[in-house]
Amino acid sequence: MKAQDETVFGEERRMTILKLILERKKVQVAELVEALNVSATTIRNDLRDLEASNLILRTHGGAIERPQARHEIELRERQAQQSEEKKAIAKAALEQIRDGDTILLDTGTTTRELAYLLNQRERLTVVTNDIVIAGSLETVPGIEVFLIGGMLRKGFQCTLGQVGGGFADLTVDKGFFGANGFSVEAGATTPDIGQAAAKREMIRIARKVFLLCDREKIGRVSFSRFATLDTIDTFITDSTDETLRQKLEEAEVEVICAPPAL
């Protein structure tokens, strides 16, 4: 248990370091040593790990913010946000899946919640680019997993890259996608261009596209668009207002609202 506790503390410490860098733009090792009460060696190792995940840039004696980092909250931190809402959305999404379906799960915290529920279905084939989803389904009876290859996006536990070969020839019954932002005007967006390209390729092979989007993402617009209203069949959220619902339904997008249990 001690080793696990040390791992958790290390992750929390690195997220604290990242937040300090985003707030101050630049930090020195000595500042972090004093703020976190750990050794300079520990801080340097943390900075090395954060740089390897493309979240910061190390400098002589410290580190600075990576230009894109402010737009990308690392996945492990996002998992703790809106957890009950994501679970409610995942349960609603599960209702759209039938025994024998072939489905695609995009990477993300909400699609992971959906993956954890798939043991309630039988004879599924699951296509995904999320290595956590693939691992969680590995031992589930009655589920075959097709993991999309490509470059590993460090810190986000998914693959990216040109989709080609056999994958381009696949067709799935239903695709379930997450987003960093969604608006009627901009569509579904994500901060990373490579991630957006991968999502667009996956949308092309899905007969029916479901967008899973908690209320915190609605109205936000990230850097790169991967879906417009005409490519989304069903919008599943935990909360929506009548104006948004009306606009989506006018665009022939089905709206499913699944508020979390009180």
φ/ψ of 222, rounded to 5, equals -95, -175
pLDDT of residue 111: 94
Q: Say what angle helices 29-36 and 40-52 make with each other, to 10 degrees.
A: 110
Q: Which residues of 165-192 are buried (b: 16+ CB within 10 A; e: fewer)?
A: eebeebebbbbbbbbbbbebeebbbbbb
CB 167 within 8 A of CB 96: no
Question: DSSP letters along 55-105, please?
Answer: SEEEETTEEEE-TTGGG---HHHHTTTTHHHHHHHHHHHHTT--TT-EEEE
Residues contacting residue 24 through CB under 8 Å, at least 6 positions apart: none
Residues contacting residue 33 through CB under 8 Å, at least 6 positions apart: 39, 40, 43
Report the candidate in 168, 236, 161 with the shortest Cα–Cα distance to residue 192.
161
CB 82 within 8 A of CB 207: no
Report the candidate in 111, 65, 77 with the shortest Cα–Cα distance to residue 92.
111
Each of the 262 residues of the chain gets a pLDDT tens digit; together they read 334 334 446 777 888 898 888 888 889 999 999 999 999 999 999 998 888 767 788 998 999 987 655 545 554 555 455 688 999 999 999 999 999 999 999 988 899 999 999 999 999 999 998 888 888 898 899 999 988 866 555 555 566 655 444 466 789 999 999 998 999 999 999 888 888 888 998 999 999 999 999 998 899 888 889 999 999 999 999 999 999 999 999 999 999 999 987 6
pLDDT of residue 5: 39
Instruction: For each of the domains in the chain, give its residue range(s) and CATH number, in order of start.
Output: 2-70 (1.10.10.10), 77-257 (3.40.50.10470)
Q: Strands 56-59 and 62-65: what pairing?
A: antiparallel
Q: Distances in Å between the alpha carbon of 258 and those of 44, 103, 184?
A: 44, 21, 20
pLDDT of residue 166: 46
